[in-house]
Structure 1
Amino acid sequence: MFEQEVKELIIEVLQLEDIAPDDIDNEAPLFVEGLGLDSIDALELGVALQKRYGISLSADSADTRRHFASVRALAALVESQGKK
């Protein structure tokens, strides 16, 4: 699973210096509740995921919103696209 790697990427890209990977729940929402990320954070994270893993994302897609629901969902997206 890429969950730990995704957590590290989130912390690195969004410069969440006061949060450790173990502080992020795999199932917790990334936006509003949970980490409390916003749309700018989503854009930055999406670009980082595209660069690092070569995955494709559509900003307007309902699927993309679903993939960004939690760390587990993002890790599943990376795994399903089979990129590393």
Structure 2
Amino acid sequence: MEELKREIISVLNLEEMTPADIDDDAPLFGQGLGLDSIDALELIVLMEKKYGIRLASASEGKDIFKSIRTMAEYVSKNRKK
């Protein structure tokens, strides 16, 4: 999860944040980190480039991108890189 947090901070240019600032179970969108649809696209690109994971649909992304924990669990089960 720590690695994933660092990647997200880098990709989304959240320079003011550290991995410790991001709660593993906080929502990534809306409350929590407050990410938007552009950020979602960046996360999709990150998943493809860094981990070799292609998402099948936008609805799949909603489930995966709920929190750092849900992303990390999905990556650990499905990573190809």
Q: TM-score, normalised by structure 2?
A: 0.93
User: Structure 1 regions of 5+ residues with no counterpart?
Assistant: none
Residue 10 in structure 1 maps to residue 3 in structure 2: no
How far apart, in 2, do the equivalents of 1:35 and 1:82 lie?
Answer: 24
The runs of at least 4 aligned residues of structure 1 exceeding 4 Å deviation read none
How far apart, in 2, do the equivalents of 1:55 and 1:45 lie?
Answer: 11
1:41 equivalent in structure 2: 39
Structure with greater contact order relative to length (CA < 8 Å, sep ≥ 6): 1
User: Structure 2 regions of 5+ residues with no counterpart?
Assistant: none
2:71 equivalent in structure 1: 74
Query: Among 22, 27, 47, which residue is 1:24 paired with?
Result: 22
1:64 equivalent in structure 2: 61
How far apart, in 2, do the equivalents of 1:8 and 1:83 lie?
Answer: 19
Q: Identity across aligned pairs (percent)? A: 51
Q: TM-score, normalised by structure 1?
A: 0.90
How far apart, in 2, do the equivalents of 1:16 and 1:5 lie?
Answer: 15
Amino acid at match of 1:26: D
The number of aligned residues is: 81
